[in-house]
Amino acid sequence: PRGRGFNLLVWLFPLVAVATGLVLVATIVRRWTRRRRDGVAAPVNVDPAMSERIRREMERGT
């Protein structure tokens, strides 16, 4: 269709919809990555014996 009047919307709407979708996806991904970064706990001082026990259990897979 020619790019005049209502037909102009037929040409522009898909472009606007794709641009809006990309902005929406970028915003959601940015929020998800911030949550993961904020949700990481700081390392805790653990008794060396307990740390060794945890390491051994992790290696065994239990």
For 8-39, write each residue's pLDDT tens digit. 888 899 999 999 999 999 999 998 887 666 66
Report how far residue 49's alpha carbon sits from residue 53's, in angstroms, rounded to the nearest whole number. Answer: 6
- pLDDT band of 61, cuts 50, 70, 90: confident
Cα separation of 29 and 11, whole Å? 29
Any idea where the domains of the chain sit in the sequence?
A: 6-60
- Name every residue whose Cβ is closer than 8 Å to that of residue 11 and which is 6 or more positions away in sequence: 1, 3
Query: According to the model, what pLDDT value does residue 21 have?
Result: 98
In angstroms, the Cα distances linking 15 to 3, 12, 44 are: 14, 5, 50
pLDDT (0 to 100) of residue 14: 94
Residue 24, both tokens: 């929406």
Q: Residue 24 has what pLDDT?
A: 98
